[in-house]
A and B are shown apart, each in its own frame.
Chain A
Amino acid sequence: MTQEVATQTEQVVPDHWEPKIIGFLCYWCSYTGADGAGTARMKYAPNVDIIKLMCSGRIDPELITTAFANGADGVLVAGCHIGDCHYMEGNHKTMARMPLLRKILDELGIEPERFRHEWISAAEGAKFAQVVTEVSESVRKLGPLNWPQMLKDRGVGHGMDLKPWGE
Chain B
Amino acid sequence: MISPSGEVAMSNSDAYPDDEIRIGVFICHCGGNISDVVDVKRVADEIGSMPDVVRVSGVFPVDAPPTAGTESSIERAVVLSETEMFLCSDPGQARIEKRIKEYNLNRVIVAACSPTLHEMTFRRACARAGLNPYLFQHVNIREQVSWVIEDKEAATQKASRLIRAAVDRARYLEPLDDRKIPIHDAALVIGGGVAGLKCSLDLAQRGIDVTLIEKSDVLGGRMLELGTVFPTDEDARELVGALVKGVQENPKITVILNADLKDSTGSIGDFNTTVVVKKDGGEEDVEVHSGVIVIAVGLDVYEPRDGEYYYGKSPAVIGLLDLQKMLRDNGKLEVNGKPVKSVAFLHCVGSRQWEDVHEPQADGKINDYCSRYCCTAILHSAVEIKERFPDVEVYDFHEDIRTYSRGHEEIYTRSGELKVKFIRFDPHRPPMVQKDRKGEAALTVKCRDRLTFGEDLEVPVDLVVLGTGLVAKDMTTLIDLYRCSRGADRFLLEAHPKLRPVELAAFGLFLAGSVQGPMDITETTAAAAAAASKAAALVSQGIIELDPFIAKVNEDLCTGCKTCLIVCPYDAIQRDDEKEIAVVNEALCTGCGTCVAVCPSNAIQQFGFNDDMVVTEILALLGVETNSRAGVEAEEAIAAV
Contacts and interface: CB of A to CB of B under 8 A. Distances in A.
Interface of A: 18, 20, 22, 32, 34-35, 37-39, 41-44, 46, 49-55, 57-61, 63, 65-67, 69-72, 83, 85-90, 93, 97, 108, 129, 147-148, 151-152, 156-159
Contact of A53 (B158, B598, B609): B609
Given A49-B161, A88-B483, A93-B597, A71 B622 contact: yes
Interface string B610-626: 01001101110111100
Given A41-B148, A43-B150, A87-B592, A70 B598 contact: no
Contact of A57 (B147, B151, B592, B621): B592
Contact of A148 (B140, B161, B597, B634): B634
Interface in B470-505: 483, 485, 488, 505
A44 to B, nearest CB: 6
B162 A49 contact: yes
B143 interface: yes
Contact of B634 (A37, A41, A55, A69): A69
Contact of B148 (A32, A129, A152): A129
Interface string B549-565: 10000000000000000
Contacts of B634: 69-70, 147-148
A132 B596 CA distance: 27
Contacts of B505: 86-88
A87 B591 CA distance: 9
Residue from A42, A67, A90 having most chain B Cβ neighbours under 10 A: A90
B361 interface: no
Contacts of B362: none
Contacts of B590: 87
Given A63-B615, A148-B630, A55 B592 contact: yes
Contact of B114 (A22, A35, A63): A35
A129 B637 CA distance: 34
A58 B488 contact: no
Given A53-B609, A58-B593, A71-B624, A157 B640 contact: yes
B143 A70 contact: no
Top 5 A-B residue pairs of the complex, sorted by shortest distance between their CB atoms: A38-B143, A58-B593, A57-B594, A69-B634, A87-B592
Contacts of A87: 505, 569-570, 590, 592, 594
Contact of A88 (B142, B154, B485, B631): B485
B594 A151 contact: no
B618 A66 contact: yes
B148 A93 contact: no
A104 to B, nearest CB: 9
A139 B636 CA distance: 25
A148 B640 CA distance: 12
Nearest to A63: B614
Given A54-B593, A72-B618, A97-B597, 19 more contacts: A20-B621, A42-B148, A54-B549, A54-B592, A55-B592, A55-B593, A55-B594, A57-B567, A58-B606, A61-B597, A63-B614, A66-B635, A67-B618, A69-B638, A87-B505, A108-B641, A152-B637, A156-B641, A157-B638
B147 A39 contact: yes
20 contacts: A39-B147, A44-B149, A49-B158, A51-B621, A53-B614, A54-B549, A55-B593, A58-B592, A60-B597, A60-B598, A61-B597, A69-B631, A69-B634, A69-B635, A87-B569, A88-B483, A148-B637, A156-B637, A158-B640, A159-B640
B144 interface: yes
A24 B428 CA distance: 45
A108 B622 CA distance: 20
Given A58-B594, A87-B594, A22 B483 contact: no
B178 interface: no
Contacts of B377: none
A149 to B, nearest CB: 9
A157 B615 contact: no
Interface residues of B, number: 58
A151 B637 CA distance: 7
B637 A90 contact: no
B71 interface: no
Contacts of A152: 637
A18 B151 CA distance: 13
B641 A157 contact: yes
Contacts of A63: 611, 614-615, 618
A59 to B, nearest CB: 6
Contacts of B621: 20, 22, 49, 51
B636 to A, nearest CB: 7
B594 A46 contact: no
A46 B154 contact: yes
A60 B591 CA distance: 15
B155 interface: yes
A133 to B, nearest CB: 10
A38 B596 contact: no
Contacts of A32: 116
Nearest to B142: A38
Contact of A50 (B144, B569, B619): B144
B18 interface: no
Contacts of A51: 614, 617-618, 621
Contacts of A148: 630, 633-634, 637
Nearest to A87: B592
Given A22-B622, A70-B630, A46 B592 contact: no
B635 A71 contact: no
Contacts of A147: 634
A46 B149 contact: yes
A57 B327 CA distance: 56
A33 to B, nearest CB: 11
A58 to B, nearest CB: 3
Given A63-B615, A87-B569, A88-B485, A38 B147 contact: yes
Interface in B133-192: 140, 142-145, 147-151, 154-155, 157-158, 161-162, 165
Contacts of B148: 37-38, 41-44, 129
A55 B154 CA distance: 28
A88 to B, nearest CB: 4
B618 A151 contact: no
Contacts of A72: 618, 622
Residue from A39, A65, A88, A158 having most chain B Cβ neighbours under 10 A: A88
B388 to A, nearest CB: 47
Contact of B593 (A22, A53, A83, A88): A53
B597 to A, nearest CB: 4
Interface in B323-365: none
Given A49-B158, A66-B618, A147-B634, A59 B597 contact: yes
A32 B499 CA distance: 15
Interface in B101-157: 114-116, 140, 142-145, 147-151, 154-155, 157
Nearest to B505: A88
A140 B212 CA distance: 63
Nearest to A104: B641
Given A34-B143, A69-B631, A90 B618 contact: no
A67 B633 contact: no
Contacts of B641: 108, 151, 156-157
Contacts of B145: 46
Contacts of B151: 46
